[in-house]
Amino acid sequence: MEPLLISIYKCPVCDDVLDFQQRHWCCANNHHFDVAREGYVNLLLAHQKKSKQAGDSKMMIQSRRQFLNNHYYDILPEKLSELLNTHLLPRPFLLLDVGCGEGYYSGFIHKNQPECQIWGVDISKPAIAAAAKRYFDISFFVASSYRLPVNDQAVNVVVKNYAPADANEILRVLVPGGLYISVTPGASHLFGLKQLIYDTPKEHDETEAVPDGFERLEQVVLRDSIEIDNNRDISNLLAMTPYFWQLSESRHQAITALTTLNTEINFTINIYRKVPLKIRDFSL
């Protein structure tokens, strides 16, 4: 795909603006970043990786895509799209999806907000490759959410679903008055699944402090229950969660052998606004 005409990228090496030239992005200092065959650009420097395979594995990405494709979590992107309308953003607006994974939520939002321009970033190269192959109208890039190769005050909205991120980086890339939408697991999220994993499952801590530089505009809590009636989707749900790595072999086999599962889904959405810097009074 051709990249969006508007560029939000800055060079991860020298922080200069990146411009698109033929099949690569480059800065005035001649640092080049090639566009992959799938259409994304890798802006993650080698020393920014904590492991050889950063982020979610290809197996986790495939499981998440297959599960989400069956619409179990659609109440979440539906509400996100609704909130973007409620808060009367300028049209078209620019949105950055931090920790976008394989792109399902980015794609859902773009379908319902076709006039907006979306960039998706994740540290997982398999996730971004899968996203770019499917969603041609969205620009995807590999990078760390703790050092975003994005220009200052470049976007109107940042959406973050579950992903770890640096709130100061999000503050930096947002325009004054821009929206930061943070999604975290609600207290009872996947409690039916957790009951099969732990002897004494605990609810999630759903509290989230207001990040410095922001004010909370609204908090929305979504609750529903889902019934999964086939073994493949149960296995995919397990594989896309951190619980997959915490299971004993016996419990893993027992859960993946199930043909039905009922569980709660519960999401907490916090909507913040970047507070413009107050003009200081320097009068004598």
Task: Tell me which residue of 182, 278, 234 sits closest to 67, measured CA to CA.
Answer: 234
136: in domain: yes
pLDDT tens profile 153-167: 999 999 999 999 999
Q: What pLDDT digit, counting tens, does each position of 221-253 carry?
A: 999 999 999 999 999 999 998 888 778 888 889
Query: Is 29 part of any domain?
Result: no
Residue of higher predicted confidence among 49 and 246: 246
pLDDT at 250: 87
Count of domains observed in the chain: 1
What is the DSSP secondary structure assignment for residue 73, as one 8-state letter? T
Give the DSSP H or E segment for 257. Answer: none
Residue 23 has pLDDT above 70, yes or no: yes
| Residue 48: DSSP 8-state | G
pLDDT over 70 for what percent of the chain? 94
Instruction: For the chain, list the strands marked E by DSSP.
Output: 19-21, 24-26, 32-34, 41-42, 94-98, 117-122, 139-142, 155-161, 174-185, 214-228, 261-274
The predicted pLDDT at position 18 comes to: 96
pLDDT in tens, 165-179: 999 999 999 999 999
Whether 112 maps to a domain, the answer reads yes
At 188, is the pLDDT very low, low, confident or very high (cuts 50, 70, 90)? very high
Which pLDDT belongs to residue 49?
Answer: 64
Q: How confident is the model at residue 279 (pLDDT cuts 50, 70, 90)?
A: very low
With 80 as the cut, is the pLDDT of residue 272 above it? yes
User: Whole-number mean pLDDT of the chain?
Assistant: 91
Residue 40 in domain = no
Residue 1, pLDDT above cutoff 50: no
What is the model's pTM? 0.92
**Domain membership of residue 269 as a residue range:** 50-274
Cα(205)–Cα(209) distance, integer angstroms? 12
- With the C-alpha atoms ordered 188, 242, 234, 236, is the resulting torsion angle positive or negative? positive
Residue 88 has pLDDT above 90, yes or no: no
CATH number of the domain where residue 121 is located: 3.40.50.150
Identify the band that residue 52 occupies on the pLDDT scale cut at 50, 70 and 90.
Answer: low
Q: Is residue 225 part of a domain?
A: yes
Q: Is residue 132 part of a domain?
A: yes
| pLDDT reading at 4 higher than 60 | no
Q: Which of 27-31, 269-273, 277-281 has the lowest mean pLDDT?
A: 277-281
Residue 13 lies in a domain: no
- 1 lies in some domain: no
